[in-house]
Each structure stands twice: as structure tokens, then as C-alpha cells.
């Protein structure tokens, strides 16, 4: 009488892959170089160089990233980033600070988040190195982003 119909008029959809962190750059680490590949990464230390990641990138509250252009599928920022960001999804948490331009399809911020730059929303983004950068921004002497110390 109350039997569920077993009809399936929709093609089977593959469940969305859950993004997860598989690598961590700890808070006591200072790294200069490049990060590329697939998978999730969390940065709690200081990083300077190039990032081209097919996956999730989390910059924790103690994380400091300086790079000309950062590419990833999803970027969550609770620390500081100096450089342009191209990603499918960008979140800036309340403790997050970004000095650079953002190109994305999805953007969210929490109250207290800081962004000094432009945001360009697109229907689709290319997280490869062929993405078109926005114009560079200039800083006044009293509004400089944090610099990586040591290393």
C-alpha cells in the first residue's frame, strides 16, 4: 500500500568527492620553492614560491603564503596570503588576510575578513598557468602585507 516506487528517471550521479587535507606544512616550518600536484594541503607555517594544486588548499590561522599567483580548486584562508588567487572556490575566514586579486566562480567571506584587491567572478576558471591575471595593485608604505621572516 505505501510502497516506494523504484523508478529511477535520473542518470546515476557519482557522489561528490570529499575534499580533505593529505599534507601539512607545520607552524614551525619555513618553505621556499613550489608546490604542485593533486590532493589537499594545509599550510600553518610560512611558504614563499609557486602553488599550483589540483585540490584543497587551507591556509591556517598561523599560515603565511607569498606567491605571485596561487592556483587551486578550493582555497580556504584563515591566515595571510600575498599574491593573486585563481580558484573555483575561495573562502576568507574572519582571521584571513589577502593582499592580491581573486578570480573565482564561488566566493565567501566571514565578518572581519580582509581583502585588498579585486574580485572577478567567472562562470568557469582555469586553474592552470594559462589563467589571465588581473592588473597588479600597489601598496602605500603604511599598508604593506606581512613579509616572511627567516629562511
51-75 residue pLDDT tens: 999 999 999 999 999 999 999 999 9
Q: Is residue 150 part of a domain?
A: no
Q: Is residue 70 part of a domain?
A: yes
State the residue range of the domain holding 83: 23-121
Number of domains in the chain: 1
Q: Is residue 141 part of a domain?
A: no
Assign 142 a pLDDT band (cuts: 50, 70, 90): low
pLDDT for residue 11 is more than 50: no
Q: What is the pTM of this model?
A: 0.74
Q: Is residue 55 part of a domain?
A: yes
Distant-in-sequence, close-in-space partners of 32: CB < 8 Å, separation ≥ 6: 47, 48, 49, 151
Q: Is residue 51 part of a domain?
A: yes
Q: Is residue 9 part of a domain?
A: no
Q: Is residue 13 part of a domain?
A: no
Closest to 54 in 3D by CA, of 42, 71, 78, 76:
71
Q: Which of 3-7, 10-14, 27-31, 35-39 is least confident? A: 10-14
Q: Is residue 134 part of a domain?
A: no
pLDDT of residue 134: 43
pLDDT for residue 135 is more than 50: no
On average, the pLDDT of the chain sits at 82
Assign 126 a pLDDT band (cuts: 50, 70, 90): confident
Q: Report, in angstroms and rounded to the nearest whole number, the Rg of the chain calculated over CA atoms.
A: 18
Amino acid at each position: 500500500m505505501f510502497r516506494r516506487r523504484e523508478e529511477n528517471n535520473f542518470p546515476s550521479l557519482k557522489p561528490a568527492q570529499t575534499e580533505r587535507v593529505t599534507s601539512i606544512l607545520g607552524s614551525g616550518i619555513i618553505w621556499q620553492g613550489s608546490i604542485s600536484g593533486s590532493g589537499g594541503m594545509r599550510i600553518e607555517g610560512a611558504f614563499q614560491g609557486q602553488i599550483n594544486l589540483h585540490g584543497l588548499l587551507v591556509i591556517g590561522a598561523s599560515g603565511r603564503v607569498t606567491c605571485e599567483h596561487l592556483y587551486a580548486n578550493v582555497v580556504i584562508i584563515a591566515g595571510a596570503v600575498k599574491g593573486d588567487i585563481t580558484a573555483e572556490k575561495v573562502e576568507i575566514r574572519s582571521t584571513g588576510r589577502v593582499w592580491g586579486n581573486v578570480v573565482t566562480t564561488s566566493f565567501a567571506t566571514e565578518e572581519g575578513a580582509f581583502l585588498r584587491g579585486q574580485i572577478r567572478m567567472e562562470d568557469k576558471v582555469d586553474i592552470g598557468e594559462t589563467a589571465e591575471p588581473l592588473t597588479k595593485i600597489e601598496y602605500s608604505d603604511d599598508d604593506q602585507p606581512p613579509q616572511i621572516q627567516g629562511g
